A and B are shown apart, each in its own frame.
Chain A
Amino acid sequence: MNFEDIILHLHDFWRSRDCLILHPYDVEKGAGTFNPATFFGALGPRPWKVGYVEPSRRPTDGRYGENPIRFRLHHQYQVILKPVPDDIQDIYLTSLEEIGLRLADHDVKFAEDDWESPTLAAWGVGWQVWLDEMEITQFTYFQQMGGIDLDPVSVELTYGLERIALILQGKESAFELAWNDEISYGTLWWEKERQFSIYNFEAASVERVQEMFRLCAQESRANLEAGLFFPAYDYTLRCSHLFNVLDARGAISVTERERFIARIRELARECANEYMALGESRV
């Protein structure tokens, strides 16, 4: 299965389970969880089932293209199901078989992992799914999002597409993966990985990025004051990404980290609160 096949199979699988197939959100983020479809979708009582691809930027994971399985951008396949089906673990395992993983040949473990996002004021309980001891999916029952206790609880399945493709295609390095039958993953992403690693670790202007952070935080706050929580959330996402860049750049020390995170969290909380306050009429 090439990379495209995997994604299309997952779309098919989750569509057949009544999921809305959505798209990546167009503001930088580190995980599919940050996509408004998850952040806001998890809040409140309305049932919600979605599946989408999310390219996720993690500046500190950059390796200049020299590491076969770690890079500053990886592709997640994100599924949210609210409420949670009783046999969700079985459904998930079936989805793996659907994309060509013969589980009887491998080692599969559900290893405890309690996920937490200090910036989103969110936490959940669940597992990392390890296939031959390689983490391929984050499997989380959200308990809280934006500081709000969730009822009903959502389950989030976050597949690590590169990792899964490596196992399926029997390749050593993600850059060798077949994106489709003609083009390799490396052709599309290697040079970008190299340039962004240089940018994030060495070239980013600390002063300008800090200033951008400040401006985004201010813009987010201004939007919240006007009751515009969706635009405010976009700026919160930008703050979160800029913080990640500063972090990769080494410009954030141990105690400063706490203050940055607290600022972003405050904004996220208020976005969540304003969303909940909208009540039944929310979009």
Chain B
Amino acid sequence: MPALEVPRLAEELKAEAQQAFSAAHLPYAQLKVAYTPRRLVLLVSKLAPEQADQIKEIKGPPAAVAFDQHGKPTQTGIAFAQSHGFAGEDLEKREVGNKVYAYARQTVPGRPTVEILPVILPTLVEGLHPTKRMRWDASALTFIRPIRWLVCLYEKTVIPVSLGSLVASCTTRGHRFIAQQKISLKSAADYEAALNEALVIVDPEKREKAVIDGLKEAAEKLGGDYLLDDELLLRIVNGAEHPTAVLGSIPAEFLDLPIEVLHATLREEGKFVPLRIPGKTCSHFVGFRDGLPDDKGIVRSGFERVVRARLRDSRFFFDKDRQRPLSERVRELRDVIYDVRLGSMWEKVERVRALAGEMVVRSGKGVTAEVDRAAFLCKADLVTEMVKAFPKLQGVIGEIYARLDGEPDAVFAAIREHHLPAFANDELPDSDGGVVIGLADKLDTVVSALLVGEEPSGSRDPYGIKRQANGLVRIAIERQVDVDFTALLDDLQETYAMIEKRVGWTAVKDFLIDRTGQLLKQRYAIPLDVIACVSATGMGNFYRVLLRAQALIDWKTNGAFQALVAASTRVRNITESTAEEGFDPALFQEEAERVLWREYLKAEGQFTLLAKGGNYKGGVEHFVPLTGPINRYFDDVLVMTQEGKLRRNRLGFLSALAGLFLRVGDFSALVVDNT
């Protein structure tokens, strides 16, 4: 079975079994699963020999109706009993409260476990969810790989579970190569020991320990450590029934290859673990044999042959790549189609350069010349042999080659970093160049895909648009990029003029804004009402959206702010349907109008100053004093006066006031406790 899938199937088996035994009223002391590449094992200890007796009962009509004067069941009583699967004899009287009812009651004796198991066990296997199902014979049985035998024992008794054309027995097999004999199990309790003797380690934790111990021993002998990641470990642990470490060495002729290349070559397909020896490059590795120690050295020779062959491939790629500097490869991007509707990779690079240049100016991050150089080179590694062979090394190879070509630090760092984040919780670019080009690249990918009509959904997003958009928003927020992306898109429509568009720019902006809303909720724990509040207005500057949201979270629980919310809602409600803009303070008549106006000017000035630096929390503080004046305004001023000129003027002023609050959000959307 596939190494990465077996653990999940085992977990499913466990969950299914727990449920099945519970539903069948079969208690046990412990239930666990074990597995190897060719076995899935369910081990249950102290499984009850039979089901507990089950009481079945149901309440019936009043006793007076169900029983006659002799205490025998009447027709009514019997009919009731039978309609629920009981018999007349099962009826009894029972007092409930101060009435007497008929109850039908049956004791269903528990069946022996050995009778139940053949019924429930096949459903466990059928209830598993392998990623793929295959057929292999005439039976209707499907699974992830062909099932070749079944073993089932309850203590010493064979349970003849049947699945497809197989019937379970007490015969299992030992390790395929080092202990081939068939094993006849005497009892279930013997299982693990019998298999250990046959050189099969069924417990994955024990296999993992054997692997780690093997790695430690090999690494310590050479004074270094080993480079292991979760996936490589899983592939090794679940690739053998008896993993045994074999140390191998790499010939000196390959050791000048970049270390990332050495590592990638070794780890591919989960075969070898690189060893790191301080002061030396990656000169040794550890492979794992499914069997006993490699006394004859034949397996070591074999492993080393494979490693040499692969390194020769990598050497071939590297040498071919290094025949020309990275910069000379850029023009080859003209022949690489990015997307039929969007042109070549070269054209994408041109767009990214334009976007990145704008991003430098607007964000104040990065040096124009360096960013432009890095943007020019950032996709060149796609046409290298090394990246074609190891696609995961995209970016890493670009960085290495640019460095070898003598490009400045800022340039080669950005080439690698602009791909980040590669997955949901990956790191973000650190350098300014990486940030700016990362943003430009992702923005172009998302915008251009949406414009030509791609519609990413939960189940289908072949261009990774959602992931790219998430990365974009994350970088903007967490690297504090003070740029309004919707405004940026408005200014850059020229760049996309040549593309045949299926949707409009509004849809593109809405998509980005929607992504921001999703991230605020999922990643930055912003409550829904705060999201609704900030969404009412300018969401294009993602960084500032978060600052506004955080300020609101801080203020939400404050009593004085809550009073402001109520007051501002009055302002919002009355101006909602108005289109009045502009006002003339000279037309104010009431004292309340002038007071509010003066407070408005103060608040607006202070808020603007603080908001400029991103201090929305401090800015909102200056809104609070407006509460009183607003309420007084509504007490004293008739906004909807008959006099047209006055009315329009008042609405105009209130609109400006509403607009001030909107620079943070629509407070009426906030859920506050108004006591």
Contacts and interface: CB of A to CB of B under 8 A. Distances in A.
Partners in one complex: yes
A78 to B, nearest CB: 19
A256 B337 contact: yes
Contact of B289 (A107, A111, A166): A107
A132 B136 CA distance: 27
B269 A108 contact: no
A263 B287 CA distance: 42
A60 to B, nearest CB: 10
Contacts, number: 108
Contact of B339 (A141, A143, A255): A255
A106 B306 contact: no
Interface stretch (A6-14, A67-75, A231-239): A67-75
B664 to A, nearest CB: 46
Interface in B324-342: 335-340
Interface string A61-81: 001001111100000000000
B302 A107 contact: yes
Given A105-B298, A133-B303, A110 B37 contact: yes
List the 5 closest pairs (A to B, CB-CB), nearest first: A132-B302, A112-B2, A253-B337, A107-B289, A125-B134
Contacts of B271: 133
B272 A133 contact: yes
Interface of A: 63, 66-70, 83-84, 86, 89, 93, 103-112, 114, 124-126, 131-134, 141, 143, 151-153, 155, 166-167, 172, 250, 253-256
A253 B298 CA distance: 43
Contacts of A109: 239-240, 290
Report which residue of A107, A143, A172 has the largest number of chain B beta carbons within 10 angstroms of its beta carbon: A107
A109 to B, nearest CB: 6
Interface of B: 1-3, 37, 132, 134-138, 144-146, 148, 176-178, 239-240, 246, 269, 271-272, 287, 289-291, 294, 296, 298-299, 301-303, 305-306, 308-309, 312-313, 316, 335-340, 344
Contacts of B146: 84, 141
A253 B336 contact: yes
Quick one: which of A86, A103, A112, A256 has the most chain B CB within 10 A? A112
Contacts of B316: 63, 66-67
19 contacts: A70-B313, A83-B138, A107-B290, A107-B294, A108-B177, A111-B3, A112-B1, A112-B3, A124-B134, A132-B298, A132-B303, A134-B302, A141-B135, A143-B134, A153-B134, A166-B305, A253-B337, A255-B339, A256-B337
Nearest to B335: A253
Given A107-B289, A107-B302, 19 more contacts: A66-B312, A68-B309, A68-B312, A84-B146, A93-B176, A107-B246, A108-B176, A111-B239, A112-B2, A132-B305, A133-B287, A133-B303, A134-B302, A143-B134, A155-B136, A167-B302, A172-B305, A254-B336, A255-B340
Contacts of B306: 132-134
A141 B141 CA distance: 14
A82 to B, nearest CB: 11
A246 B349 CA distance: 26
A67 B309 contact: yes
A172 B298 CA distance: 14
Contacts of B289: 107
Given A133-B271, A133-B302, A86 B309 contact: no
B177 A104 contact: yes
Contacts of B240: 109
A126 B132 CA distance: 11
A103 B299 CA distance: 11
B337 A255 contact: yes
A106 B302 contact: yes
Contacts of A256: 337
A124 B302 CA distance: 28
Contacts of B298: 105-106, 132
Given A107-B302, A253-B337, A255-B340, A84 B309 contact: no
Nearest to B148: A86
Nearest to B289: A107
Contacts of A86: 137, 148
A84 B178 CA distance: 26
Contacts of A63: 316
A167 B339 CA distance: 45
Nearest to B309: A69
Contact of B305 (A105, A112, A134): A134
